Amino acid sequence: MEAHAADVWQMESNVKQGVVFASPKNMDERESVAGSCVRNLHIQIPALVDDFSNSTEKAYTGWPDRLYLIDKDGRVAAKTQAGPFGFHPEEIRKHL
């Protein structure tokens, strides 16, 4: 889900930075917005797009920012606190 959609809750800082997106209406739009985020933030790790029922968000409480480390058996081995203030990727590093 677009965090600061122009048609829902637009942040002034997004307008200043030219990062203005309306709420996606379909998966193609959602994937396009996510792709823009990955490119603009130079994200180097795999990024996934949730479905329109936001089932992953509901299961893992990823909002607003959170990192999860999944072990080889598919279990959550570690997670960071919610961001932006609890978002500390270095916390995950000690579990690797």
Which domain range does residue 67 map to? 63-96
pLDDT in tens, the chain (96 residues): 666 666 766 677 777 777 777 788 899 999 988 888 888 888 888 888 999 898 988 888 766 677 888 999 999 999 888 777 777 788 888 888
Say how far apart CA 66 and CA 87 lie, in whole Å: 6
pTM: 0.60
For the chain, strand residue ranges (E) read 68-70, 76-79
Residue 60 has what pLDDT?
80
- Indicate if 78 and 50 belong to the same structural domain: no
- Indicate if 56 and 89 belong to the same structural domain: no
Residues comprising the chain, all counted: 96
Cα 27 from chain centre: 15
- Indicate if 78 and 38 belong to the same structural domain: no
The residue whose two tokens read 């058996």 is: 73
